[in-house]
Amino acid sequence: MDIFIQQILNGLVLGSIYALIALGYTMVYGIMGLINFAHGEVVMVGGMVTVSVVSALMAAGLGLPPLALILIGLMVAVAACMLLGFTIERVAYRPLRKAQRLAPLITAIGVSIVLQQLAILVWGRNYIPFPPILDHDVIQIFGASITRLQMVIIVLCLAIMGGLLLVVEKTKLGRAMRATSQNPAVAGLMGVNVNTIISATFVIGSALGAIAGLMVATNYEQVHYYMGFMIGLKAFTAAVLGGIGNLAGAVAGGILLGIIESLGAGYIGDLTGGFLGSHYQDIFAFAVLIVVLIFRPSGLLGEKMADRA
Amino acid sequence: MNTMTKQPASAKKVATFVASAIVLAVLPFIVGGTFGNSWVRTLDFALLYVMLALGLNIVVGFAGLLDLGFIAFYAVGAYTFGLLASPHFSLDMPFWITLPLGALFAAMFGVMLGTPVLKLKGDYLAIVTLGFGEIIRIFLNNLNAPVNLTNGPQGINLITPIEVAGFSFGKPHEFFGITFNGVYMYYYLFLALTVLVVIMAWRLQHSRIGRAWVAMREDDIAAAAMGINIRNIKLLAFALGALSGGVAGGLFASFQGFISPESFGLLESIMILAMVVLGGMGNIPGVILGAVVLTVVPEVLRDVIGPLQMATFGKMIIDPENARMLLFGLALVVMMLVRPEGMLPSKRRKAEFEDAKEGV
Amino acid sequence: MAEVLLKIDGIVKRFGGLVALSEVGLTINKGEIYGLIGPNGAGKTTLFNVLTGLYMPDEGSFTFNGQNLFRAKPHVVVGAGIARTFQNIRLFKEMTALENVMVGRHIRSKAGALGAVLRDPRTMAEERAIRDKAMELLAYVGITEVAHEFAKNLSYGHQRRLEIARALATEPKLLALDEPAAGMNPRETEELKALMEKIRASGVTVLLIEHDVKLMMGLCDRIAVLDYGKKIAEGVPEVVRRDPKVIEAYLGVAHE
């Protein structure tokens, strides 16, 4: 039972990070019908920049408290990622908006590779440890333990996601975004500047990605040029699981996937009589993805697509 | 146009055919003599990739099914060969069993992958196939315990080279007093098989089956309404593509003598897809060109980037491997922006891309 | 007594909560031109899609030429002998006219992947036969001169004819045409009428959806009228025309 609660807690931490990244995928997909393959790399850049800034500030010896260090690092990372997201859309996707679907997918893969290679160029191929400023206090809940940091991750993720939902539901920008996702042409006729809205979507999604990058970095206490790939793929799975294009769905899908994954990793050994071990953890996300797409391609919260001739 | 109706071969065609046959026959000697044997090895790889890309082209180019996990079939072919002809299980089966068996297994995996994804299209299909490819790789990486099936990340070593009637392609041979390295032997073997794959792909394209694929790619509802069994024709594309991938995988295993999960990652799948797309999806000469360019150019860059930097800056500013991949990523982006239909597109594809531009 | 070719009974088709067809039944006899009319949104195209296998009906029965086609896959329906065209022309745009018709021969030919690769004499003979038949059909609908053009480059009238040729290539017993005269000028409509008479004379039964009630009255042997997913009348044109329910259905939408 303790293992069960422990895995649920681990799943919640992982899941809220997935959810945050999944929002980036789902927002872009909702508005442009495009899988932004490079979003995982934005997360990676967010993590990398934070670590670099924090390390640099510490080396400068200003004696700032850890929270200030992380906040400054995060602010720089968010700014960098917003710029990055804006640029990616401008350079790689906007010219292809009318092209066949294959073209933007290939460009997205190209952008992904370029960002990874640039990361190698700047930060090298090795794992970079997070500077030793993280708090490791553990809280006990029902016999399971969770660090305070992980609690912060969960709470912060939920707060940010709530904020985003408010923006989309209540503000003028949100209304324009929803209109664009319904029908860009009509939204354009109604005076919505579709280009601005698409840019804004990328920028907001990238900002969330940067925050997620920091969380991944603090949770695993290291960063790496390839860290965005797997987590991006899983977050995409989460978005599909919840119903791609649906914000609440992305959140639900992310948390659910996180829990499925931790429970799966915790119990796969028992389930298969020791044949498969916890290093098969990554398989769960793909298995979930495949099962969802086959049985309910519209996702858990997505609208059922009508069959049309 | 239809090529099945026999036309008298014009003198020009015959001349082109003879000339290209001669060039292909002497190519390894020119390349090997000028740049050394490692470049003949690159040629061998180029031929392997031509086979792989032509296989993927059946799935992506002909049938229009976006597959980002194609390397899985290559892996299935390679591991079938490797496991049945290496000290790992102390087996030494001849290639005429291992190679067809690998192709068969790969085709079965193709159908296995194809069946659940029949209703998926475009990006979704791409992501699911990507997931499938990763699952295969994760299994290859971890199936060394509790029963050692794949030997995990260490891979399979000492795989038997292909041997025909006591003639091993892996060892140097002497003809007319000249010793030929194994890479030369394999060149001719791969060339022969590549020619077969080209003929196969070409004939499929210009057949009843090929027409059904195009019809399905262009409008699957109209195709169904014309009596095409969409499920079967899709699975056939997956199976035939996987079959070619499986053959290439077996050849790869015997040629390298060593395989490990590392050779079958996502990047390889992307590379093969890039060969098809940058070459000219659906057009066999284009795909061949794409495969050759994307095999040879990175090798050239590997040799050029380092010395070039030393000569210009006097030091290494950017690691050649890094630079190579950076250029590859940039090439993907730039190519899609400038010439999305590829270097040598088919007439049909070109028309499709024009439609897309006009927003039809 | 006329021989029944197609018979459906109690066909129900729902989309979510919406009932698009409710208990529709009709019979089509061999050799006739059968018309299906009704106001916009009456369920004509839905019924058409059910009859050609693109939609799976939820309830009812469907027999054709003695074969049970209830919830059959499209290729089975085509194999049984029903071929169709589409209201908003669905040709294979980047295939030539000839290739389009050759695709229509798919169901009546057999060569598989192995035959395609080996090119054995039988496959080659079949391929020649496919081509010859396709050319013959292009001539039949009168568009031989554009055989090697991409379908998308054909004129509108030619595209309509090509779609009919492609459907005929499947050797249908019943040819189902979804608003074939839509967007045609009077001369083209007359030519189309002549083509349909010619097809019927060759022994193929024709099912027709058309908006142009006048055209239908002059052309069809029998007509069924749909309204709100229900069949409200069926019979020879003279009787249907005077049916009060039909008049009401049409007047009901006339001032919309």
Residue B23 lies in a domain: no
Are the Cβ atoms of B210 and C107 closer than 8 angstroms? no
Q: Give residue B4's pLDDT.
A: 46
**Side-chain-side CA neighbours of residue C11 (13 Å):** 32
The reply to whether B240 touches chain C by the CB within 8 Å rule is yes
Chains that touch A (3 or more CB pairs under 8 A): B, C
Minimal Cα–Cα distance from A153 to chain B, Å?
28
Tokens representing B251?
């050849």
CB B269 within 8 Å of CB B260: no
Q: Give residue C251's pLDDT.
A: 66
Phi, psi values for residue C64, rounded to 5°:
-140, 120
CB C177 within 8 Å of CB C84: yes
pLDDT at residue C39 greater than cutoff 90: no
Domain ranges of chain C: 4-81+172-254
Closest chain A residue by Cα to residue C74 = A309
Domain of A7: which CATH number?
1.10.3470
* Residues of chain C contacting B227 with CB distance shorter than 8 Å: 74-75, 78-79, 83, 104, 106-107, 170
Pairing of strands B167-168, B163-164: antiparallel
Residue B261 lies in a domain: yes
Give the tens place of pLDDT for each residue, B162-174. Answer: 777 667 777 777 6
Are the Cβ atoms of C55 and A306 closer than 8 angstroms? no
Q: Give residue C1's pLDDT.
A: 55
For an interface test with B, give the residue of C50, C51, C54, C92 to mutate (most B CBs within 10 A).
C92
Residue A309 lies in a domain: no
Residue A143 lies in a domain: yes
Burial class (CB in 10 A: 0-12, 13-18, 19+), B26: exposed
CATH of C4-81+172-254, one of 3.40.718.10, 3.40.50.300, 3.40.640.10, 1.20.1250.20: 3.40.50.300
Residue B205 lies in a domain: yes
CB C192 within 8 Å of CB C181: yes
Closest chain C residue by Cα to residue A309 = C54
The reply to whether A270 touches chain C by the CB within 8 Å rule is no
Residue B25 lies in a domain: no
Closest CA to B40 of B172, B181, B169: B181
Identity of the residue in A99, A116, A285 whose CB atom sits nearest the CB atom of B356: A99
Pairing of strands C205-209, C33-37: parallel
Tens-level pLDDT at each residue, chain B (360 residues): 444 444 556 788 888 888 888 888 878 878 877 887 888 889 999 999 999 999 999 999 999 998 989 999 999 999 999 998 888 787 888 888 889 999 999 999 999 988 888 888 777 888 888 888 988 998 898 888 777 888 888 888 888 887 776 677 777 776 776 667 778 888 888 999 999 999 999 999 999 999 999 999 999 999 999 999 999 999 999 999 999 999 999 999 999 889 999 899 888 999 999 999 999 888 999 999 999 999 999 888 888 887 887 788 777 777 888 888 899 999 999 999 988 888 888 777 777 776 665 544
CB A224 within 8 Å of CB A43: no
Are the Cβ atoms of A114 and B330 closer than 8 angstroms? yes
Across the range C156-168, mean pLDDT stands at: 94
Closest CA to B26 of B142, B200, B194, B187: B187
Place of tokens 């640039």: A118
CB A70 within 8 Å of CB A149: no
Identity of the residue in A304, A306, A309 whose CB atom sits nearest the CB atom of C54: A309
Q: Give residue C83's pLDDT.
A: 94
Are the Cβ atoms of A233 and B131 closer than 8 angstroms? yes
The reply to whether A304 touches chain C by the CB within 8 Å rule is yes
C56 versus C218: the higher-pLDDT residue is C56
Cα C33 to chain centroid distance, Å, stands at 11
Other C-beta atoms closer than 10 Å to the C-beta of C171 total 17
Beta bridge partners of A36: none
Place of tokens 């769905």: A249
DSSP A35-79: --TTHHHHHHHHHHHHHHHHHHHHHHT----HHHHHHHHHHHHHH
Across the range A260-279, mean pLDDT stands at: 77
CA Rg value for chain C: 19
**Which residue type sits at C164?**
I
- According to the 3-state scheme, what is the secondary structure of B88-152? HHCEECCHHHHHHHHHHHHHHHHHHHHCCCCCCCHHHHHHHHHHHHHHHHHHHHHCCCCCCCCCH
Residue B97 lies in a domain: yes
Provide the domain limits for residue B70.
36-358
Minimal Cα–Cα distance from B107 to chain C, Å?
14
Closest CA to A204 of A19, A24, A20: A24
User: C9: helix, coil or strand?
Assistant: strand
Domain of B161: which CATH number?
1.10.3470
Provide the domain limits for residue A210.
2-295
Identity of the residue in B131, B145, B329 whose CB atom sits nearest the CB atom of A286: B131
Q: Give residue B357's pLDDT.
A: 59
Q: Give residue B171's pLDDT.
A: 72
Going by pLDDT thresholds of 50, 70 and 90, the confidence category of residue C254 is very low
- ipTM tops the 0.95 cut: no
Phi, psi values for residue C33, rounded to 5°:
-105, 115
Identity of the residue in B203, B224, B229 whose CB atom sits nearest the CB atom of C116: B203
Across the range C116-141, mean pLDDT stands at: 93
pLDDT at residue A284 greater than cutoff 90: no
Across the range C33-61, mean pLDDT stands at: 90
Identity of the residue in B214, B225, B229 whose CB atom sits nearest the CB atom of C95: B214
CB B212 within 8 Å of CB C103: yes
Measured over the CA atoms of residue B345, residue B349, residue B353 and residue B358, the dihedral's sign is positive
DSSP-assigned letter for residue C42: S
Place of tokens 């909560």: C17
pLDDT at residue A309 greater than cutoff 70: no
Q: Give residue B283's pLDDT.
A: 92
Q: Residues 126..145 of B with a Cβ closer than 8 Å to A: which?
A: 126-128, 130-132, 134-135, 138-139, 142, 145
Q: Give residue A271's pLDDT.
A: 72
Q: Give residue B340's pLDDT.
A: 85
Beta bridge partners of C64: C6, C67
Closest CA to B253 of B140, B173, B110: B140
The reply to whether B326 touches chain A by the CB within 8 Å rule is yes
Residue A302 lies in a domain: no
Give the tens place of pLDDT for each residue, A125-145. Answer: 899 998 888 877 888 887 788
Are the Cβ atoms of A307 and C55 closer than 8 angstroms? yes
Other C-beta atoms closer than 10 Å to the C-beta of C44 total 23
Give the tens place of pLDDT for each residue, A95-130. Answer: 888 777 788 888 999 999 999 999 999 998 899 998
The reply to whether A60 touches chain C by the CB within 8 Å rule is no
pLDDT at residue A307 greater than cutoff 50: no
Residue B12 lies in a domain: no
The reply to whether B177 touches chain A by the CB within 8 Å rule is no
The reply to whether C155 touches chain B by the CB within 8 Å rule is no
Lowest mean pLDDT segment, chosen from A209-223, A225-239, B1-15, C179-193: B1-15
Beta bridge partners of C63: C7, C68
Are the Cβ atoms of A309 and C16 closer than 8 angstroms? no
The secondary element (H helix, E strand) that includes residue B6 is: none
Counting the structural domains of chain A, the total is 1
Across the range C79-86, mean pLDDT stands at: 94
DSSP-assigned letter for residue B258: -
pLDDT at residue C216 greater than cutoff 90: no
Counting the structural domains of chain B, the total is 1
CA dist B46 and A300 (Å) reads 45
Give the tens place of pLDDT for each residue, A150-201. Answer: 888 899 888 998 999 888 888 888 888 888 888 888 888 888 888 899 999 9
**Side-chain-side CA neighbours of residue B211 (13 Å):** 29
